[in-house]
Amino acid sequence: MIQEAERIGVDGIVIGNTNECGRPTKELLESATNARVPVAFVASEVVSEIETMQEQVALEPHSEDVRHDAFIYLSIYNGQPDHESHVVNHILASTHILLATMVVLALLIYLSLACSVGSLRYIPREIAPDIFGTRAEPLDKGTLEQLPLIPVKWNVNGLGDDDEEARCESPSTIDLGQTRKALLQQLAGIIVRSGDGSYLFTEEKECAICLDSYVFNDSLRLLPCKHAFHRKCIDAWLLSESMTVHCPVCKSSITDGLRLLDKHGYSDVLNLLRGDSCVAGHCCLSVSRASLKPLRYSTTSKPDTSYFGSNPYLQQLSRQYKQAHDLCMNDPERFSSSHMQHMVSTSRDIFPNTELRLSKVRTFGFDYDYTLARYTDKLPETIYTMIRDVLVKRMLYPPALQALKYDKTFAIRGLSYDRETGWLFKLDSNYNIAMDTVHYGREPLRDLEEVYSLHNGTHVAPDYVKNQLYQLNDIYSVPEATLLADIIQYFTEQNIPFHPRYLAEDIRAAGEYIHKGDGISLSPLHSTIINNIGDYLDRAPELLQILNTLKSSGKRLFLLTNSGYQYINAGLTYMFGTRDWRALFDVVIVGARKPSWYLSHRPFRLVPTDTQESRHQPWAHVDHFEDGQVYSGGNLMTFTNITGYSDRNVMYFGDHIYSDLRDPSIQKGWFTGAIVSELKYELSVIQRSEYRQLVTYIQLIEKILKTAQQQTRSAQFTQLSVEEKEAFRQLLEVGRVERRQARWKLRDCFNTNFGSVFRTEKYPSLFATKIKAFANVYTADLSNLGEYPLDFIFYPKRMTQAHESRMPEVDDLLEEIY
């Protein structure tokens, strides 16, 4: 094909991967190697652009402005041996000759630069020296032997705690459990061990020269840029007089890298280049978080400055790194809760997002589930089991699914499930996907390029969020998220085809069934809880006392819940130890159907109770509320008209962002309080000295990096040699890597799969953003309301803008005051 193109006199050849099928065949590469004209292998997007120009030319083929002396032979490569090709007889035309000439020149420039920007996967070796610089002399064997050899040890999905002692007997069958695999995230490549005992990781599973897959105990030659190849392939490449002494992948100079090796030693360079970039600055290797080893300075001696010579910039930056590490990581007592007691938040606190005067609140409303009712850890497991059994027994899912067990450590609240792809992930406040949380089944998504390709980045468009994402925002959804992941994992391992949308819909339908049943009698879940109520509910005498205090203070109370009367009657009777709980509330509304309750026009109806007189009929029209009675249905407008509750004097507590918080605050301007039970655990993590050390360390590293980068603009820095500037850039990368690793450790403090409920790696989570937007205050438990007098004023923490200065002096002064 390439020879045919050369025969017709083309100026260049562009071979496009239109079906995204992978790499070109070996035969095609060999043919490209011997080509006499520039040859480029490009992505499908480039092919599309060229075809678009071709179509434009076809509209006016005989125009005098069309150039016919520039040809491109475009091969539509589909990965098959018998792939077809066609000759573009005229291309790169426009309405002006000048523009056509510019396009031709742009394409040729593109061919020469594409490798450095990642568009070209391969360039024929014959023309590589002409594109990347003057041809260099081939390496002699003595110089070549300076490049270290490394054996392929494993091709596995995970490493265990005994990494150093892991056996090499089986290259592909090591299985060390879900937990460790989750920590490794994207890692799915070759694991090699260098001469100094450190592990190196590459996502490449095959040699980029011969395209043969690596196998156990293959001998690889490691270049200074961290790319590895079969020893026989790269040696032949570098020793050949017709080849260039550049890395075949990233084109970084081998000789430049060897000079660094000669000067500083292989181990020092490896420690220096622990980030994502090559020596020459090409970001062409994506290293997973698990593969990065933390930078550690000795606590007993100063760092080795022999590498930095007399360069003051390198010496200063190295010293600052060490000081930051010593200050933060070697003095845990400095960050203990006892040392910072006056600044430590506890799970008994209420946290304000806005200023709130409790004295202005005359009416308090409450949801039941996870607000008044405090469930035990057994409930999520029961929900998981019941939904699983409904899928198997009623919806014909495989019986083998009944062997699945609930893992309470896997998921968190606030995740998003993509109903088209089956991905489970966390969104940040800007609707960007937290890439380190993307899971398919129980495993981290291996090919994150799929995410970038789908969304053209990490940002998810609002329409996509609305139409395709299933938001898992309440506590009930945590076992649903876990079951989604478990079933996808099972289907994937068993090669069972499925559509992620149908799976989500079936799990949601099964969840609705166990919660609501037939709508007349008790649902299966509620029946189970009532029959074993002590296993699922905690008693709450302190809540009873708080409600009595509010009532005796002249506050009006109402209960608004989606649950049925029989269920909440059993629950509140158990929690409060009295059957007379209805006397606490001015109005009790069950079966409300929130969130539609806030905008619907459904009428209220009376709910029969065991104490009602026969004259009360459940089908009668309701135009007023009576003390001690229970009502169902209704809507916000009718409720306000009957009760006369003033909008800005009402405060409602609930746990669900959309059912309890959003519409009351938006539609009527009610004050709202969010009950976020996860706060208890998250605050316990935040109080650990390890967490405080890591946060402080990250902030110090960021300050050091900011200052160091600003120094590169100084006149003194511009006078440094190229090698010194490159060393400084690599040392900056050391700090960036250390910052990344500290962030990952922070994440794993909360949950090794998805991190904190309230944060992503860089920003607040979408869940936290919604809490801030729709809740005036939030707290871990409703009983915390009893910690505050009824005339208390909540003051939100002052949030600094990017251009404002923080006032650390406040903390220092508080230490003196307290």
Residues 303-355 have pLDDT tens digits of 334 445 567 888 888 888 888 888 888 777 777 765 555 567 888 999 999 99
Residues 359-391 have pLDDT tens digits of 999 999 999 999 999 999 999 999 999 999 999
pLDDT score at 315: 82
Q: Classify the C-alpha dihedral 28-31-33-35 as positive or negative.
A: negative
Last residue of a domain, one of 530, 565, 598: 530
| 309 occurs within a structural domain | no
Residues 408-431 have pLDDT tens digits of 999 999 999 999 999 999 999 999
Give CB contacts under 8 A, 24+ apart, made by 763-766. 763/428, 763/429, 763/430, 763/432, 764/428, 764/429, 765/414, 765/426, 765/427, 765/428, 765/429, 765/434, 766/414, 766/416, 766/426, 766/427, 766/428, 766/429, 766/431
Taking the C-alpha atoms of residue 807 and residue 198, their distance in angstroms, rounded to an integer, is 43
Lowest-confidence segment of 507-516, 606-615, 704-713, 792-801 by average pLDDT: 606-615
Q: Say whether 349 is catalytic.
A: no
| 340 occurs within a structural domain | no
Q: Which of 549, 552, 410 is nearest to 484 (CA)?
A: 410
Instruction: Let me know whether 90 and 159 are in one domain.
Output: no
Which pLDDT band holds residue 482 (cuts at 50, 70, 90)?
Answer: very high
pLDDT score at 463: 92
Instruction: Let me know whether 436 and 486 are in one domain.
Output: yes
Instruction: Let me know whether 96 and 121 are in one domain.
Output: yes
The mean pLDDT of 27-44, rounded to a whole number, is 66
Is pLDDT larger for residue 141 or for residue 500?
500
| 400 occurs within a structural domain | yes
Examine the pLDDT at 112 and tell me if it is beyond 70: no
Instruction: Let me know whether 390 and 518 are in one domain.
Output: yes
| 230 occurs within a structural domain | yes
Residues 245-303 have pLDDT tens digits of 778 877 677 776 666 555 444 444 344 333 333 333 222 222 333 333 333 333 223 33
Q: Which pTM value belongs to this model?
A: 0.64
H or E stretch at 377: none
Is pLDDT larger for residue 809 or for residue 725?
725
Maximum Cα interatomic distance, the chain, rounded to a whole number of Å: 105
| 294 occurs within a structural domain | no
Number of separate helices (H) and strands (E) present in the chain: 28, 25
Exactly one of 218, 256, 367, 586 is catalytic; which is it?
367
Q: What is the CATH number of the domain that holds 240?
A: 3.30.40.10
Is pLDDT larger for residue 237 or for residue 501?
501
pLDDT score at 795: 94
Q: Quote the percentage of the chain above a pLDDT of 90.
A: 42
| 558 occurs within a structural domain | no
Q: Say whether 463 is catalytic.
A: no
Q: Which of 793, 679, 350, 353 is nearest to 546 (CA)?
A: 350
Is pLDDT larger for residue 71 or for residue 227?
227
Instruction: Let me know whether 156 and 110 are in one domain.
Output: no
- How many domains does one find in the chain? 3
Is pLDDT larger for residue 278 or for residue 659?
659
Residues 626-643 have pLDDT tens digits of 988 999 999 999 999 999
- How far apart are the two ends of the chain, measured CA to CA in Å? 82
Residues 722-738 have pLDDT tens digits of 888 888 888 888 888 88
Q: Quote the percentage of the chain above a pLDDT of 70.
A: 64
Residues 175-219 have pLDDT tens digits of 333 333 333 332 233 334 344 433 444 445 678 887 777 765 577
Taking the C-alpha atoms of residue 571 and residue 549, their distance in angstroms, rounded to an integer, is 21
Number of other residues whose CB lies within 10 A of the CB of residue 673: 28
pLDDT score at 479: 97
Q: Classify the C-alpha dihedral 301-303-305-311 as positive or negative.
A: negative
Examine the pLDDT at 119 and tell me if it is beyond 70: no
pLDDT score at 169: 31
Instruction: Let me know whether 124 and 49 are in one domain.
Output: yes
- Overall size of the chain counted in residues: 818
pLDDT score at 741: 87
Last residue of a domain, one of 252, 271, 290: 271
CA distances from 226 to 117, 282, 344, 504 (A): 18, 11, 45, 43
Instruction: Let me know whether 383 and 505 are in one domain.
Output: yes
β-pair type (72-77, 12-17): parallel
Q: What is the mean pLDDT of the chain?
A: 75
Q: Which of 756, 760, 754, 753 is nearest to 181 (CA)?
A: 753
Instruction: Let me know whether 125 and 149 are in one domain.
Output: no
Last residue of a domain, one of 132, 167, 190: 132
Asked if residues 531 and 775 have their Cβ atoms less than 8 Å apart, the reply is no
Taking the C-alpha atoms of residue 448 and residue 465, their distance in angstroms, rounded to an integer, is 19
pLDDT score at 19: 47
| 629 occurs within a structural domain | no
DSSP 417-458: EETTT-EEEEBBTTSBB-GGG-EETTEE-S-THHHHHHHTSS
| 331 occurs within a structural domain | no
Taking the C-alpha atoms of residue 453 and residue 435, their distance in angstroms, rounded to an integer, is 13
Q: Which of 673, 757, 662 is nearest to 367 (CA)?
A: 673
Number of other residues whose CB lies within 10 A of the CB of residue 457: 11
Instruction: Let me know whether 499 and 447 are in one domain.
Output: yes
Structural domain containing residue 32: 2-132
Two structure tokens written together for 780: 């871990």
Lowest-confidence segment of 121-125, 537-541, 695-699 by average pLDDT: 121-125
Exactly one of 218, 369, 418, 474 is catalytic; which is it?
369
Q: Classify the C-alpha dihedral 17-22-23-27 as positive or negative.
A: negative
Instruction: Let me know whether 160 and 125 are in one domain.
Output: no
Asked if residues 679 and 347 have their Cβ atoms less than 8 Å apart, the reply is yes
Instruction: Let me know whether 385 and 524 are in one domain.
Output: yes
In one-letter notation, the amino acid at residue 611 is T
Q: Cα 126–128–132 angle (5° rounding)? A: 155
Instruction: Let me know whether 127 and 145 are in one domain.
Output: no
